[in-house]
A and B are shown apart, each in its own frame.
Chain A
Amino acid sequence: MARRLRGFTLSDQAVGVLFMVPFVLTALFFMVYPIVEAVRMAFFSYNPLRPDLSAFVGLSNFSYIFDDQLFWTSFWQATVWTSFSIVFQTLFGVAIALLLHQALPGIAIFRGLLLFPYIVPTVVIALIWRWIFNPEIGIVNYALLAGGVISERIYWLSTPEMAMASTIMLNVWKYTPFVVICVLARLQSVPLELYDAAKVDGAGVVRRFIDVTLPQLREVLIVVVVFRTIWTFNKFEEIYLLTKGGPGTSTFNLAVYAFEQSIANLKLGVGAATGVIMMIMLSIGSVIYLRSAGFAREETHG
């Protein structure tokens, strides 16, 4: 069917293409071009202050990275930070979504409030958390001391273990609402008949959760875990703003490592190569995870 627009006649296909053009252009400019440029730069030495000295260096940026102990330390720490963050976000996200799924008066207010950590800019959150975690004047230590939970101040950001735990806590607090929203949306579309049938069969609350709710949430959780893993693994600003990768380099992840190489060391090529390695790692990890989780198997085998 053709459409008339001020004397022009466009086919449905042409209208579709027209609507896609802004997205395609945006994606080309803001996604494809930077990725291509990063891949290109990964094979060059590039000092941003002296672009005139740029030179093709083959694989030496990658060789530098793989020989650098800090890269492997950062990779391990990124894995720890991502794993704990995702596990806790998923557990808390599902639990909170189940609570908010109850038809209680005023529940909409709680659902709205829950979005607060997610919508506040990260820089604001990180600065607030720095105050919250301040060992001398922070409210967390004050509350714990006042409540008799601890007898000595905890130095939240001053030891490697506590700093890592604190960055994980921040990440979990900020992004659990994303999991809640996704899971809650799915919960609201689960047919009630399934629960009724399970009740008739004598299933209790736990049984109904395991046999009805979880299978219904499976696909959304797979997607949420993939997205959250990619986003968390790549995360830069929370760690940088909260700990700057410290104390020492104990909270470096690969994004902070790439930043340090690019800006502090003025090795943009090494920073770009780190980004390429991260992209490859995440692509491989995502494919393996989606395959092993059987995502969209029905459609594939349709």
Chain B
Amino acid sequence: MTIKRREFLAGTAATGLLGAFAAPSLAQSTKSGTVRVWGEPGPYGGVAVAAMNEWAQKNAPGLKFEIETIPWDGVYVKLMTDLAARRPPALISVESPLAMQLMAEELLVPLDDVADKVGRDRLVPGLKWDFWGAWKGKQYVIPAHHQPHLLLVRTDITRELGLTDPDTWTWIDLANVARTISQKKPEVAGICMALGRNLCTDYHFAALLHQAGGRMFAQENKFEVTFDSAETAEALEFVRELHQFMPKGAVEYSFLQVVDAHVTGRTAMSFYWGRTLGRAAEEAKPVFEATEAFNHARHPKTGRRSNWNDFQGWIIPAQNNPYIDEVKQALTYQQTSKEWLVKYCHSLMPNVAPVYKDVADSAELKNHPFYSSKSKTVDTYFKASLEHSSSTANEMLKGVNPLAGFVHGRSVLAQTVQKVVIDKMAPRDAAKWGARELDTIRKENMRLIG
């Protein structure tokens, strides 16, 4: 039996009222008004807010939580303009690079009290609270989910062409497979990743950079810029090689276009998060059935299979926020409800992975059709990818990087990639250009890193 997302969401509100955990015993709030909550596109933000409204019905009847969906590429601009205009939302579900930047700027409320109530020992093995955002000994971010981008492969095509198991591939194999598919199936691109001047390209390229063993900054050395390196040049060279086998429009692709390319069957492989499978399940059944997710191809020398795992979390703006106490309580309620957290993950499988052991191991979570139709893929997104986690906000998990938000705000990585694929700059020179940009960011924000 398959569950359609709309049907699932329709049932969420009704069942939530019946089955939710009891709210922590708290004094009733007499405040009234709308509590604005920002979330990324997708139904899960709405599910979280439904849980918070359940809390509000019992504890703050005058409050109504409302989700506002912000497109990924608009998050930075929207955040900066609304914070600058002193009208922030009361609660934000945000990607880790921005969370790190805002917490280092001291614009967020410390949430250690919430973390204590949620349970510090609940995290799935391999995860740490720091990954979401801790700074100078304080926890500023409460986990919403983790979300790695992986290598999505149309296994019907690889089988038809007699290609090997994607789990065994190195970069060399991946390029060869992309070439073979492009040559033997001209109507399908061999591979697709974002190459536009946007956040998605930043995230896709960062994974390749980390696989090659390169980094933007050396956290252990006062964030010295390390981008002008042979590893960066190698990752750029690899993008240039793969570019030949991508859809021609890839140089303007962002998140949505990569999903579109895969779901509409215009590419045989893509780098993406679990959203692609969720959409394919609804819109393109054959694509869904044929697609499996794998950890990225190994770098031939380092053996690394780094992904860009977004440790997305909840943050509470400190300034001009009249609902801090209420939001903390509502967030605690949502975070301590296994039932709501399962609904959160189920709302777009397998895009948002559970972060707490009791949720990840629960029978309720596994009561979803993807666990039978895509068990290995779901397991790869939720668990097997964890050992390869990396992101720009915590490169190779070597430490929190508060400069990553600036890097993405200026699309430095995407611009570096575009220097190679559009301007035909030599990878080594593009790496130098990117390093200069990163050095400027570092110098301008020394106050954050000390």
**Separation of A181 and B230 alpha carbons in the complex (Å):** 60
| A248 lies within 8 A of B197 (CB) | yes
Q: Which residues of A contact B422 (CB under 8 A)?
A: 159-160, 247-248, 250
> Which B residues between 383 and 413 are near A, CB-CB below 8 angstroms?
406, 409-411
Top 6 A-B residue pairs of the complex, sorted by shortest distance between their CB atoms: A48-B84, A246-B197, A248-B418, A264-B409, A248-B422, A135-B249
| A158 lies within 8 A of B249 (CB) | yes
Task: Select the residue from A135, A244, A245 with max chain B CB neighbours within 10 A.
Answer: A244
| A246 lies within 8 A of B83 (CB) | no
- Given A135-B248, A247-B252, A248-B419: A48 and B80 within 8 A (CB)? yes
> Which B residues between 102 and 138 are near A, CB-CB below 8 angstroms?
105, 107
Residues of B within 8 A of A (CB): 76-77, 80-81, 83-84, 105, 107, 196-198, 247-252, 266, 406, 409-411, 415, 418-419, 422-423, 447
> Which A residues between 243 and 273 are near B, CB-CB below 8 angstroms?
243-250, 260, 263-266
**Separation of A249 and B84 alpha carbons in the complex (Å):** 26
Q: Can you list 27 A-B contacts (CB < 8 A)?
A: A48-B84, A49-B80, A49-B105, A50-B105, A136-B247, A136-B249, A136-B266, A155-B248, A155-B249, A158-B248, A158-B251, A159-B251, A160-B422, A243-B252, A244-B198, A246-B196, A246-B197, A246-B252, A247-B196, A247-B252, A247-B418, A248-B418, A249-B415, A264-B77, A264-B411, A266-B80, A266-B406
A157 at the B interface (CB under 8 A): yes
Query: What's the dominant secondary structure at chain B's contact region?
Result: helix
**Separation of A243 and B198 alpha carbons in the complex (Å):** 11
**Separation of A205 and B196 alpha carbons in the complex (Å):** 51
- Given A246-B196, A248-B419: A49 and B83 within 8 A (CB)? yes
**Separation of A136 and B267 alpha carbons in the complex (Å):** 13
Q: Mark A155-173, 1 if CB is under 8 A from B, else 0.
A: 1011110000000000000
**Separation of A264 and B76 alpha carbons in the complex (Å):** 8
Residues of A within 8 A of B (CB): 48-50, 53, 135-136, 153, 155, 157-160, 243-250, 260, 263-266
**Separation of A53 and B83 alpha carbons in the complex (Å):** 16
Inter-chain pairs besides A244-B197, A249-B197, 15 sampled, C-beta below 8 Å: A48-B80, A48-B83, A49-B84, A136-B247, A136-B266, A158-B249, A158-B251, A158-B252, A246-B252, A247-B197, A247-B418, A248-B415, A248-B422, A263-B409, A264-B77
| B409 lies within 8 A of A245 (CB) | no
Q: Which residues of B contact A263 (CB under 8 A)?
A: 76-77, 80-81, 409
Q: Which residues of A contact B77 (CB under 8 A)?
A: 263-264
Q: Which residues of B contact A48 (CB under 8 A)?
A: 80-81, 83-84
Q: Which residues of A contact B415 (CB under 8 A)?
A: 248-249
Identity of the chain A residue whose Cβ is nearest the Cβ of B253 in the assembled complex: A158
**Separation of A260 and B437 alpha carbons in the complex (Å):** 14
| B107 lies within 8 A of A49 (CB) | yes
Q: Which residues of A contact B266 (CB under 8 A)?
A: 136
**Separation of A265 and B445 alpha carbons in the complex (Å):** 11
Identity of the chain B residue whose Cβ is nearest the Cβ of A250 in the assembled complex: B422
